[in-house]
Structure 1
Amino acid sequence: MKPFSTIIAHELRLALRGGGDMLTLVLFFVIVGAIVPFAVGPDKALLARIAPGIVWISAFLAMLLGLDRLFHADHEDGTLILLRQSELPLSAIVAAKVMAHWLVTALPLILASPVLAMLLAMDLETFLRTLMSLLLGTPALAAFGAIGAAVTVAIRRGGLIAPILIAPLSIPVLIFGVGTITATQSNAAMLFLAALSLMAVALAPFAAALAISSAED
């Protein structure tokens, strides 16, 4: 368990050392959400209906910005080769990186969501449901992002291709994420979202490890 936690701590230290990246993600998240009302217009009723979707789309796009940090730098400097020789299975290493990726990308966005909620004039109940849906759904986005980053790790400009690969996988997350807030069967949507995240987090490390091994060989 110690090597696993060591990898997480190492990734967090690297992210905090370059703290500007997290600030960029948060600002991008808030700016995207704040721009949409200008395009929609001053219709408060319409804005209230689409606000959950705006938050989810902003979170999805912001998390795409952090994909390059997952494996690309380790591939460039040879760290991935060393990690494959460690006593910890590559799938466990990927799982640790996915967890750290969620902590440095999704968690700051969740913490910044009250700002976006105020800009979108969300009521308290809608905001709380939005917060819960982000907590349940963003692990799946992080897991799918790891798969996309692993598949394109050895491809030049792979950071431009990965979002295209993971977009179809992320559509159900966005649907259920918004459904937990707006649908009449919101509790069922929340359960489906939680199940989707659990399945993605459980399977993504093995899929990403296989992709990395194929790319490195």
Structure 2
Amino acid sequence: MMQRGKPISVLVVSERSVVRAGYRAMLESSSDLQVVGEAKSIRQASQLPAGRSSDVAMLDTPSDAIDVTAIRRMVAECGAKATLVLVDSVDQRVRRLPGAGVDGILLNHSSSEMVCAAVRMIAAGYSLITPAGARQPDHVPTTAEPDHGHLDHLTRREADVLRLIAQGMTNAEISVELSVSESTVKSHVQHMFNKLELRNRVHAVIFAYEIGIVRARTPELLACPG
């Protein structure tokens, strides 16, 4: 687990400099995320000292250009504590990435909030395999029934809010889904946090995974940061 107060260090890997710059700006807009290095290739990432000291190596690559062997080598040689791969679509090569040691897979057209949440979650030790059909994450039972006993203290609306947060919805989107005002959603969110003793939306989605009320079956199964 990450030490509280210590920024999550990220190595950004992409062959395009404009993509690397975009991810740097996006990640560093959050005070708890810090880009410690950039690489234009997997080979370069494996050779950078920054890779060996980073918490997360984040690779953006076209799905049709994925080299599973090279990614496996990067995971082994780079030394980052976790690896997140951003892809543009799901194919057989993408489905092989968990076997190569990749901790997270996310579609690269996901929102900035979702990308930041993914970095936080895999840095915290969770697998996050989200594109449809890629794989169920290891920490979520695929056959067990959801444990709704953890939600006994929540109202129906608060439980709905937890489920929708875990599906990646913002407060504005939840207000539309539930036909209530955004201020009402914010109130439900805070009450849900207090009752479940959760610090933020990332911890809420982790909690939702752990009790089994959501499954990693769609590209939008991440929470936005709090």
Q: Same fold (TM over 0.5)?
A: no
Per the normalisation by structure 2, the TM-score is 0.28
Decide which structure has greater strand share: 2
Q: Which has the higher contact order (CA 8 A, sep 6+)?
A: 1
